[in-house]
Structure 1
Amino acid sequence: MSSIVIDSITATGSTLECDVRPSKDLERFFSGEPFRVEYDRSIEDVPEGILAIPALANVCPLAWASGADVYVDEVDGRFAHALEDVKASLLSMHDFLEGGTLYARETTDAEPPAVESSAERDHGRSTDADSALLFTGGVDSTCSYVRHREESPTLVSIRGWTITTDRADDEKWNDLRERVSTFADERGLETAFLESNVLSAIDHPMVLAHYKRFVDGAWYSSVGHGLGLLGLCAPMAYARGISELYVGATHWEGVDLEWGSRPDIDDYVRWSGTRCHHDAYGLTRQERLDVIADYVESDAPTLDLQTCNVRMDGNCGRCEKCYRTAVGLRLSGLEPTAHGYPFDETEYDRIRRTLEGGEWELGEDERYMWADIRDRVRETTPESAAERAFFEWLVDADLEELVSEAEPPLSDRLLRAGARNVPTRLYNAAYPAVKSARTGLERVRSAR
């Protein structure tokens, strides 16, 4: 019987670590290194039932793909129930998932202690920071901040998915930390920074080799990241007394995509003392930019957004996501150059040529995003001849043709087919460099 055992859970200072022991048939999906999360304050007083959540949240979806059972000594009872709800949603979304059962020797319920915030300790001022928000400074998380700013949410940033724990990504992580810290300091907010080796403890390239054919995008984006990222926050939320945890929606009502973060996943995630919320699902991306535009006008005239797929120290202004955001800002009445995006009238022609030339690798996700922009274009009066020409083209463009439907390169398909069939030790010996490259590519695509 396929199984995964999570044990030897320890909390030393701010570091959580545990062992993940799969049955023989599942060993290829794990690197053998302990699962680890580094927080920015001590978690030694967090109960073991809460400490088990980060690993369970990331391992269980993979177990469900294999029909495997998961074993742990102790787990928070509310989270155990949440896993059943999330499992039902994921199984209804993905036909290839088989399910599995979580077995715990003990289920517990632990209310978090009253916690004095660091802002109160350091500055002697009262805060109501009992909510938190996953935050990158992009459109979705900034919109969620604006919607919940009266709660003064703690801003939570996570390293381990789009920014890897490889040393090569140190600079990106430092850039993100500095930007989020500055945003928080200007608003009197607390921050929380987490780092996890989740996508190296789990052999993500091997997971892709087996399951990429079933998902649009990558495993973590299509299946695991809503439950996984929220679960990483559990010890932090307990230690800080966080009762409400928000994650900004990527999509909106009417977008029919298999995506790992949706209301029927995130809204089910909970543990003792904390409930999670999939926020702003009722707003399209353009409507979220409208929310931000109102905030810019009333409170934050110099606000910068960060959405680039290439850089973390600003926006390149040339990638598809930068252009898409710049056009969206224009449609919401903001000047892109005032909010982090180099942009002028000549860019409209380049966007059209690049889209028509298929230079960007686009998927269904981007089709919905550009369709949302097109809907707003139909209600907008162009400000220049260049803008008018682009808007007229976009209204008539066949977005289905602009979306890449091509098969992955033959080399990718052969690699994944080989990985599914060769012994794990041979695969790991033959393809380490390719694995690293593929993982980087999938993380970039996951960040779309």
Structure 2
Amino acid sequence: MKTSAATRTYDGEWVEIGVEVTRDADPSTPDRLWYRIERRHESLLTDTMDPFVLATLFAAMRTGEDLHAGGGVTGTLLDNLDEFQSAWLQWRPERYHRVRITAEEELPDRAGPDDRSAVQTFSGGVDSAFTTIRHVSGAAGRQSLALTGAVMVHGFDIPLTERESYESLRHRSAPLLQKVGVDLIPVVTNFRSLWHSDLGHWEDAFGTGMTSVLTLVSGGFRHGLIASSEPYSSLLLPWGSNPVTDGMLSGGRMRIHHDAAGVDRNEKVAGLARLWPEGADNLRVCWQGEHKDRNCCRCEKCIRTILNFRVSGSEVPASFPHEVTEEHILSLSGLSEAHVNPLRQILAAAQARRLEEPWVPALADCIAANEEEIAQGISYEGGFPLLATDSGR
């Protein structure tokens, strides 16, 4: 597999940077991988091929084709990706192959003092919002970075076909972030639709997708933050973003951090309610509802987040406008281990706090029913959870 050197084209307020990706088995029909960014942010773009190597890595590992970048790649990234592959070959030997990664030129690391400038991925969800307020408020202590940028990607959890949903979320999030000193950087990409449209492979590759976008703007930042999705006490491996391998996606121009794995999701929502109530009132966690710019309150992730607020003793914010009943909880089905795992954390917290609300036994029954379906092969990795209904199971 080979990539061309990156090229830029301009269309009004946007600049598109992309590469042609040629597969060994079919060199006559290359794919085009592209990212679009507003021209006002063009100065942030990297002059390396690091983001394109990150984006093409899993596609190459799936076919076993060696990967050659038609431009300069930092030596640090090349070194780190050797170890990154070792982890994934241990986790999924049946799915991936080790590949050799080369480049037209091997580039040195960035010189000069570290100004701790940082950019994060921002989806509007609990994890990314907590990372925002954790760093801008200094609540991360010695880990706090000078966070001033947040990339919001169109083409990941909001499909490219749903432009109105993305624009709605973008225009709601930009002033919210600006109030805490963070500039929203919109990025549009075909990374997911090109190679990772199935959920199973997406759950492996989304970390490299996020890192490719962060590295894309490494011309303006030294550090990239990916918010943790699971705490250290309940890690789910393999998973596309995790504290084991995210740091291995660092290159010579940007260090990648897996942020706040020492804080569980219940603590995160409590922190948001306390430190950034406006952020809590504008959360957007939903990826299955009809409108991707708001919360449906009927999908697994919406219901889970509402229960996070309940179990933490925090008021459910305005971003979740619909009530969730025991019947909704009981009707959740089709959950994989990745969906059941965070529900177990909520149940454990509720039991530790001796909560007696009726939703607690309903959650226990929901978990037990889905664990049985997983054991029977009814629910499976890469499957889509079913939305809650009003009729129960």
Q: For the structure 1 residues 398 and 304, does the alpha-carbon distance in structure 2 shift closer, same or farther, using more than 3 Å as the test?
A: closer
Larger radius of gyration: 1
For residues 408 and 39 of structure 1, do their structure 2 counterparts lie closer, same or farther at Cα, with a shift above 3 Å needed?
Answer: farther
Q: Does 1:341 align with 2:320?
A: yes
Deviations 1:290-338 (A, max 9, x none): 3223314xx64873321123133321222222222112112222221x3
Where 2:357 maps in the other structure, the secondary structure is: helix
Q: 1:251 to 1:393 in 2, by over 3 A?
A: same
Aligned equivalents of 1:394, 1:234: Cα separation in 2: 40
Superposition TM-score, scaled by structure 2 size: 0.82
Q: Deviations over 1:86-132 (max 9, x none)?
A: 21221122112220101223201253899xxxxxxxxxxxxx88211
5 Å matches for 1:15-414?
A: 15-24=16-25, 32-41=30-39, 43=42, 48=47, 50=48, 52-73=49-70, 74-96=72-94, 97-109=96-108, 111=110, 130-150=117-137, 151-166=146-161, 169-202=162-195, 204=196, 217-221=199-203, 223-238=204-219, 240=220, 242-253=221-232, 254-296=234-276, 300=278, 303-309=281-287, 310=289, 311-336=291-316, 338-344=317-323, 347-355=324-332, 360-380=333-353, 382=355, 388-395=357-364, 397=365, 399-403=367-371, 404-405=373-374
When residues 225 and 34 of structure 1 are mapped into structure 2, their CA distance, relative to the original with a 3 A threshold, is same
Task: Find the aligned partners of 1:329 and 1:146 in 2 and give their Cα distance.
Answer: 17
1:10 equivalent among 7, 14, 24: 7
Instruction: Rate the CA distance shift 1:47–1:236 in 2: closer, same or farther, 3 A.
Output: closer
Q: Distance in 1 between matches of 2:262 and 2:280?
A: 27
In structure 2, C-alpha distance between the alignment counterparts of 1:381 and 1:45, rounded to whole Å: 50
Which amino acid counterpart does residue 284 of structure 2 have in structure 1? Q
Q: 1:66 to 1:400 in 2, by over 3 A?
A: farther
8 Å Cα contact 1:66-1:99 kept in structure 2: no
Q: Please tell me the residue identity of whatever aligns with 2:227.
A: G
- In structure 1, what is the Cα distance between the partners aligned to 2:318 and 2:116? 27
Amino acid at match of 2:6: I
Q: Find the counterpart in structure 1 of residue 140 from structure 2.
A: none
What stretches of structure 1 of length at least 5 have no aligned partner? 115-127, 209-216, 410-441
Structure 1 position 55, deviation (Å): 2.1
How high is the sequence identity, in percent, across the aligned residues?
A: 20
CA distance in 2, matches of 1:271, 1:104: 14
Structure 1 SS opposite 2:167: helix
Cα contact 2:35–2:188 (8 A) shared by 1: yes
8 A Cα contact 2:5 2:19, kept in partner: yes
Structure 2: gaps of 5 or more residues:
138-145, 386-393
RMSD: 3.0
- Structure 1's consecutive aligned runs of 4 or more residues displaced over 6 angstroms after TM superposition are 442-445
1:205-248 alpha-carbon deviations (Å, 9 max, x no partner): 5xx5xxxxxxxx52021x2111222112223121x2x1111011
How far apart, in 1, do the equivalents of 2:214 and 2:127 lie? 19
Return the TM-score normalized by structure 1: 0.73
How far apart, in 2, do the equivalents of 1:267 and 1:45 lie?
21
- On the 8 A contact 1:132/1:156 being kept in 2, the answer is yes
Corresponding letter in the other structure for 1:219:
H
Return closer, same or farther for 1:184/1:256 CA change in 2, 3 Å cut-off: closer
Number of aligned residue pairs: give it: 363
Change (3 A) 1:265 1:31: farther
C-alpha separation in 2, matches of 1:334 and 1:138: 17
1:402 counterpart letter in structure 2: N
Q: Which has the higher strand share?
A: 2
C-alpha separation between the residues in 1 aligned to 2:179 and 2:155?
A: 26
SS of the equivalent of 2:256 reads strand
| Residues 1:5 and 1:394: Cα distance change in structure 2 (over 3 Å) | closer
Relative distance call for 1:286 and 1:194 in structure 2 (3 A) is same
- CA distance in 2 between counterparts of 1:227 and 1:301 reads 26
Equivalent residue letter for 1:232: V
Q: State the SS of the aligned residue for 1:225.
A: helix
